[in-house]
Amino acid sequence: MEGVDYLVDERKKAQFDVDAMKIVWAGSRHAFEVSDRISKLVAGDPAFRKDDRTMLPRKELFKNTLRKAAYAWKRIIELRLSEEEASKLRFYVDEPAFTDLHWGMFVPAIKGQGTDEQQQKWLPLAYKMQIIGCYAQTELGHGSNVQGLETTATFDPKTDEFIIHSPTLTSSKWWPGGLGKVSTHAVVYARLITDGKDQGVHGFIVQLRNLEDHNPLPGITLGDIGTKFGNGAYNTMDNGVLRFDHVRIPRDQMLMRVSQVTREGKYMQSDVPRQLVYGTMVYVRQTIVADASCALSRAVCIATRYSAVRRQFGSQNGGPETQVIDYKTQQSRLFPLLASAYAFRFVGEWLNWLYTDVTQKLQANDFSTLPEVHACTAGLKSLTTSATADGIEECRKLCGGHGYLCSSGLPELFAVYVPACTYEGDNIVLLLQVARFLMKTVSQLGTGKKPVGTIAYMGRVKYLMQCRSDAQNAVDWLKPSIVLEAFEARAARMSVACAQNLSKFANPEEGFAELAADLVEAAVAHCQLIVVSKFIEKLQQDIPGKGVKKQLEVLCGIYYLSLLHKYQGDFIATSCISPKQASLANDQLRALYSQVRPNAIALVDAFNYTDHYLGSILGCYDGNVYPKLYEAAWKDPLNESDIPDGYHEYIRPLLKQQLRAARL
Amino acid sequence: MEGVDYLVDERKKAQFDVDAMKIVWAGSRHAFEVSDRISKLVAGDPAFRKDDRTMLPRKELFKNTLRKAAYAWKRIIELRLSEEEASKLRFYVDEPAFTDLHWGMFVPAIKGQGTDEQQQKWLPLAYKMQIIGCYAQTELGHGSNVQGLETTATFDPKTDEFIIHSPTLTSSKWWPGGLGKVSTHAVVYARLITDGKDQGVHGFIVQLRNLEDHNPLPGITLGDIGTKFGNGAYNTMDNGVLRFDHVRIPRDQMLMRVSQVTREGKYMQSDVPRQLVYGTMVYVRQTIVADASCALSRAVCIATRYSAVRRQFGSQNGGPETQVIDYKTQQSRLFPLLASAYAFRFVGEWLNWLYTDVTQKLQANDFSTLPEVHACTAGLKSLTTSATADGIEECRKLCGGHGYLCSSGLPELFAVYVPACTYEGDNIVLLLQVARFLMKTVSQLGTGKKPVGTIAYMGRVKYLMQCRSDAQNAVDWLKPSIVLEAFEARAARMSVACAQNLSKFANPEEGFAELAADLVEAAVAHCQLIVVSKFIEKLQQDIPGKGVKKQLEVLCGIYYLSLLHKYQGDFIATSCISPKQASLANDQLRALYSQVRPNAIALVDAFNYTDHYLGSILGCYDGNVYPKLYEAAWKDPLNESDIPDGYHEYIRPLLKQQLRAARL
């Protein structure tokens, strides 16, 4: 059966140029070419095999990850890959490893918070991986609230050292990836104490392990925090626990770009603006949004292809059953996720631009847009990661029973993805930050301070509070102006309603706490508007390729109309649209499902994922699912013998009524 | 720290009699006493230890399950446990095993579909476990659609045998639990062929393995289908694959209660009404709903206790941070799930009554209520399992980062639960069946046929189509009449709207397919009404115990008001309630959160779960979470040595820049 394409008929149905769409998805021809080349390089190298990952016991799994990480580094050097190519290679190896933290957190922390001398000392070592570092912030008892950290770094002027110490059990560092077994160094966050005074949380470079034999240094307790959700998944990572018993480090290992401790023990601020850290934050969140579109698109690719392969019911006169992708219930769950994958891709692209823009402004000491940028990136991180986590699980369910097998790839994709909802800011905490910004914006509307960027629509609040939607028939819902006005009016009205309710409280903080759930809903409305408007903006650009723009318009329509349907309570309760208009929107949504149907397979082909990267039998490119599932089953360790281990001790005595005598 | 109760202050806050609530939760004093005794018996027996389960490699895990199953059976015999007690013991052992299928599917299939002689021959063997059986229905290419099965059973009149055969790869039996490695027998579903004619799908008792050495019999291929979602979880089960190569079985091994094949090969129906199978179906679905309340309550118990232990932000003047359970965002996510656990418990209790009622009616040849009962149980199965799967994951997120550790118990609880959304009827397929029943009911409204049972409200459709809610202020939403009317009006109007849209299609089946997504929403509205009304009915009974009824009233209010808020689009779009009334309902909901807050810990204590059954450090009874998490970490296999396996091969060469020479 090799070489047969079971989805060839589906691919023939496509009404657009798939190769052109691949470029749009990748962002540029260059990005496409690098991705395409590196993903095939990884897929073709048996050293990067991963189909056995969900079956390996923890120790073997972890050792295997160490092997892949070392091998990947070796290949990067041998092939003289550029930084971009090296990073793509790690991406397509698709296995969480200590290198993620080394390159993604340790190096940037030193770059962002270290002085020039510190960078000159540490970065060359890190770049060559002569040291391996991680980022030790969270503690057993302290996650989101960085200001609550308990680890102390007390300056000892006698020896010109800091004493790093874990005063309580809950102050144990807990969760940092790469910490448990691999890292030789860490950037450790601790409360700086000088002259008995608590100066707040600062970062310190601390060596954890001896570079000769890898043993933990004196006073340092290190370990892995145990098994995590899922088979394979994040169990390839040594998320760690770390305790300090009065560990001394030289004074110059405090990261001193923004504040310093002098030889005399005096605490000082430098003239480097603290706002510079926001640049890093925007960068990290942009990466998370881009990752969301990757993870969601993988799940959607699997579910879409298998929905075209799988048939259930509807057989006429003994003919084949109906492809499940032809059922409207399947379409109404699957196609909004396909549209979301594209929507998140484009909003991620826009965030990339925003990062460049913010960086330039920061360098020019222009901090005016920071609050808006902070709220916008916080909200988009929250919205896209929550939708992606739920979306992956929905895709798993859309594959029926077989989605529950690890060989479908979806269980591991889900398990490895969900932490994104919690790390880098818990999603609900982030939405509350967005809400705080919204309330501040509303309160300043009378002051002449003009809302900018993604919140600019609030400048038209008077109009938005009283407008009525013009939609007269279903196709009106394809007009960007009608759509944007409805989403803007809904967001504005929900924010204003919250502000009005807040004003009834004597104590604003109490009101904020009491109305938190409503505030979160207002924040979601605002964030959805951002994604919708960036998708619409994307379509106002020139997009080459036969039929490509048309397909994206259909997906954009599905994205906003499925949101409008799901949240119709918001739109109707705030009188932004009438029940009749909501019903027309729903009719239009169904019509768009029919339009996307023949293009569905081509639209997931445009992600250009290799079967290796996808890691799913259900999603394999050629659609030849069942023989592959059947073959894969026999690789399970349980199938090593016909008679299972334990038969003689436990099954046979049971069958033969000899349990009384059995040793159990 | 042993023996200290860190939640003692929380427990003191309770405003009701927790012991009385335990009886209400259990269903009766007798049920409570059996559960309490057996759960402690299991918890106290080290043979049933399960805290290592998520760390074991598949073969060890499976062997361990065989040991527990044999040991459980030995204890059941030694202690002369009653059937009720034995079933409770298996429940509290809390590990999916072949015995679930043997007792839950194989034995009932023979009882329900076997003739008296067949029962006399097979049941005694099964009761003593001299044979172990499973239920082989689904195939690699065929799940929900039983009529699409491909396995054949061809009668050979020459030898008086059936020839069981797998004609295609997709006809391989796939998924049956207990099939892969343990079962000696199976009830196999196959297309009966007599005299060249396809008589449809029937059940056959087939021996799979030799009872002396456990080898598969000639012509039979058996294996495990591979690793499934999650650590531990369903990987304790040998879900299997089975292929037949012309396997012959005697004619008397077709289950012949409802239809027979004679010695001459003539196919005949008996006079036993086919509707009898519905009794079993109601029984199975009632069990699934009861399981949903168990699974959801476990997750809620963990998340509630840990939300009281965990503190984040809000520290005033260096005092302790705020318990996260005091945040309204936490309450608005957690308390509706707590209320749902109770709601599902009571609707499960009612389904138990319904089963008795239906059984009596069937015995009296009264089949009149069957369509309503079928729709109602299908809908409740779908609603409760979907809400529970989502609810468990929500509880995991409510525990922050630590919920991602297997020691939180939540990852395994989720992974082991989610198949309930797919097995015994895919949840969306079931909702479409409900929708079909609703459309039929609407179409018959003019005919004088009076809707009965859970659909009786449709008899008042004229009133429900035009009524306006009387709610004038927030507390009006505590009045059952106002609530029921709103839920009835919403359900009726959504069904009628679907029926009207359907009537626009020339071909009703085409219309049903096109409008499927809307029909599913109408079905959900109907099912939510059932759960709400059964909760309200429960509260109209006499419920003893100080403050118990009051607490249940608060939970009932939270249940329906959180639904009303989440689905306000339905209620407002159909003009059942106004936006103002929706807002009042939301105010009342917030007030109820404050009322349940001091009782939250006691309300989860009322589930009476042992720490063993709960299987979660975050949810431990005494709230002493952090030392236990810390201790548990060191048990991970990765912590067996300070220096990880692979250091010398992969980490040291990396650090020492010696990768080129390394063998990778």
Q: Is residue B246 part of a domain?
A: yes
Establish if A97 belongs to a structural domain: no
Do B296 and B266 share a structural domain?
no
Q: Is residue A9 part of a domain?
A: no
* Nearest-CB residue to A225 (from B405, B647, B650): B405
- Contact A329/B520 with Cβ under 8 angstroms? yes
Residue B509 backbone class (left: φ over 0; alpha: ψ -120 to 50; beta: rest): alpha
- Let me know whether B331 and B440 are in one domain: yes
In a domain, B598, yes or no: yes
How far is it, in rounded angstroms, from Cα B29 to Cα B25?
10
Angle between helix A579-596 and A328-363 (nearest 10): 100
Query: In Å, how far are A74, A311, A313, A316, B149 from A319, measured between CA atoms?
Result: 54, 11, 11, 5, 14
Find all residues with CB under 8 Å of B476, minimum gap 6, and list them.
Answer: B470, B482, B584
Q: Determine the average pLDDT of the residues in B35-63.
A: 97
Name the amino acid, one letter, at B97.
A
List, for residues B482-511, the tens digit of each pLDDT value.
999 999 999 999 999 999 999 999 999 999
Q: At what angle do helices A516-539 and B328-363 cross, to 10 degrees?
A: 90
Q: What is the 3-state secondary structure (H, E, C) of A404-433?
A: HEHHHCHHHHHHHHHHHHCCCCCHHHHHHH
Q: Is residue B306 part of a domain?
A: yes
Question: Which of B209, B221, B229, B335 is most worth mutating to test chain A (most A CB atoms within 10 A of its CB)?
Answer: B229
Note whether A55 contacts B227, CB cutoff 8 Å.
yes
Measured between CA atoms, the residue of chain A closest to residue B577 is: A573
Contacts of B311 in chain A (CB under 8 A): 141
pLDDT computed for residue A270 by the predictor? 86
Predicted confidence (pLDDT) per residue in B526-568, tens digit: 999 999 999 999 999 999 999 999 999 999 999 999 999 999 9
Q: Is the four-CA dihedral B185, B189, B191, B194 of positive or negative sign? A: positive
Of A280-289, B247-256, B347-356, minimum mean pLDDT range: A280-289
Q: Do B568 and A573 touch (CB under 8 A)?
A: yes
Which residue in B85, B372, B424, B521 is the catalytic one? B424
pLDDT higher at A278 or B403: B403
Q: Maximum distance among all alpha carbons in chain B?
A: 92
Are B309 and B244 found together in one domain?
no
pLDDT digits (tens, 9 = 90+) for A446-455: 888 899 999 9
Residues 6+ apart with CB under 8 A from A76: A85, A86, A89
Residues of A serving a catalytic function are 424
The answer, yes or no, to whether residue B445 has pLDDT greater than 60, is yes
Structural tokens at position B15: 């405003």
> Hey, of B224, B404, B407, which one would you mutate to test binding to chain A, going by the most A CBs within 10 A of its CB?
B404
Residue A262, pLDDT > 60, answer yes
Nearest to A133 by CA among A185, A170, A181: A185
Please report, in range form, the residues annotated as the binding site of B. Answer: 138, 177
pLDDT over 90, % of chain A: 91
Nearest residue, CB atoms, B653 vs list A70, A401, A513: A70
Residue numbers in B near A574 (CB within 8 A): 579
Half-sphere exposure of A620 (CA within 13 A, CB side): 18
Chain segment B297-341, per-residue pLDDT in tens:
999 999 999 999 999 888 777 778 899 999 999 999 999 999 999
A295 CB contacts (<8 Å, ≥6 apart)?
A388, A392, A413, A417, A420
Among the listed residues A628, A561, A631, A620, the one whose alpha carbon sits nearest the alpha carbon of residue A596 = A561
State which residues form the domain around B121.
107-272
> Which of B605, B621, B656 marks a domain boundary?
B605
Q: What average pLDDT does range A253-267 have in this prediction? A: 96
Q: Is residue B558 within 8 Å of residue B339, measured between CB atoms?
A: yes
Last residue of a domain, one of B250, B272, B294: B272
Residue B640 belongs to some domain of the structure: no
Tell me the average pLDDT of chain B. Answer: 95
In this prediction, residue A3 has a pLDDT band, given cuts at 50, 70 and 90, of low
Does residue A100 form part of some domain? no
How far is the C-alpha of B247 from the C-alpha of B260, rounded, in Å? 20
Q: Which two tokens stand for residue B410?
A: 């939540």
Average pLDDT value for residue range A231-252: 98
Say yes or no for a CB contact (<8 Å) between B590 and A411.
no
Model ipTM value = 0.96
DSSP state, B16? S
Mutate to test the interface with B, among A127, A140, A650 (most CBs of B within 10 A): A650
Token representation of residue A340: 């979301």
Taking the CA atoms of B494, B496, B498 and B501 in sequence, report the sign of the dihedral they define.
negative
Mean pLDDT of B56-67: 97
pLDDT at B2 over 70: no
For residues A587 and A471, give the distance between their C-alpha atoms in angstroms, rounded to a whole number.
Answer: 13
The total number of structural domains in chain B stands at: 2
Q: How far is A641 from chain B (nearest CA, A)?
A: 9
Test A77 with B659 for CB contact under 8 angstroms.
yes
Residue A487 and residue A547 in one domain? yes
Question: Given B170, B657, B659, which is nearest A626 (Cβ)?
Answer: B170
Residues B371 and B422 in one domain: yes
With a cut of 70, say whether residue A2 has pLDDT above it: no
Which residue in this structure is represented by tokens 């359907």? B502
> Which member of B69, B312, B630 has the closest CB to residue A145?
B312
Interface contacts (A, B; CB < 8 Å): 391
Q: Give the pair of three-digit tokens for residue B279.
A: 């009794």
Q: CATH number of the domain at B233, please.
A: 2.40.110.10
Beta bridge partners of A189: A203
Q: Average pLDDT in the A247-251 region?
A: 98
Q: In the predicted model, is pLDDT for residue B249 greater than 80?
A: yes
The shortest C-alpha distance from A382 to chain B (Å) reads: 13
- Do A214 and B422 make contact, defined as CB atoms within 8 angstroms? no
User: How many contiguous H segments (helices) and E segments (strands) does chain A have?
Assistant: 24, 11
What is the pLDDT at residue B1? 40
> Do residues A402 and B225 touch, judged by C-beta distance below 8 A?
no
Contact A228 B404 (CB under 8 A): yes
Cβ within 8 Å, pair A401-B423: yes
Strand partners for B134: B186
Residues of A in contact with B229 (CB under 8 A): 230-231, 404-406, 411
Based on the fold, state whether residues B170 and B310 are members of the same structural domain. no
Please, which pLDDT band fits residue B3 given cuts at 50, 70 and 90? low
Please answer yes or no on whether A70 and B659 come within 8 Å at the CB atom: yes
Q: Which of A63, A331, A633 sits opposite B223 (nearest CB)?
A: A633
Please check whether residues A252 and A347 belong to one and the same domain.
no
Closest-CA distance, B542 to chain A, in angstroms, reads 35
A138 is in an annotated binding site: yes
d(CA A475, CA A472): 8
- Residue A577: CATH number of its domain: 1.20.140.10
Kindly report, residue by residue over B350-362, the tens digit of the pLDDT: 999 999 999 999 8
Nearest CA in chain B to A132: B655
Predicted confidence band of residue A313 (pLDDT cuts 50, 70, 90): confident
Q: Summarize the annotated binding site of B for FAD as residue ranges.
A: 138, 177
Q: Among all residues of chain B, which has the CA nearest to that of A646?
A: B63
pLDDT of residue A1: 40
Length of chain B: 664
Q: Once rounded to an integer, what is the mean pLDDT over residues A350-367?
A: 92
Taking the C-alpha atoms of A553, A556, A560 and A563 in order, what is their torsion angle to the nearest 10 degrees?
Answer: 140
- In the prediction, which pLDDT does B279 show? 81
Q: Are residues A345 and A419 in the same domain?
A: yes
Return the residue of B nearest to A514 by Cα: B328
Residues 6+ away with beta carbon under 8 Å from B32 = B22, B23, B25, B26, B608
Q: Are residues A315 and A415 in the same domain?
A: yes
| Assigned domain for B339 exists | yes
| Judgement on whether residues B217 and B326 belong to the same structural domain of the protein | no
Chain A CB contacts of B564 under 8 Å are: none
Q: Is the pLDDT of residue A65 over 80?
A: yes
Q: How far is A160 from A201, CA to CA, in rounded Å? A: 19
Together in a domain, A506 and A547: yes
Same domain, A245 and A348: no
Cα distance between residue A197 and residue A192, in whole Å: 8
Through-space distance between the first and last CA atoms of chain A, rounded to whole angstroms: 48
Domain boundary among A230, A256, A272: A272
Summarised one tens digit per residue, pLDDT across range A468-479 is 999 999 999 999
Q: Are the beta carbons of B573 and A582 separated by less than 8 Å?
A: yes
Q: What angle do CA B476, B477, B482 make, to 5 degrees?
A: 85
Nearest-by-CA chain A residue for B330: A517
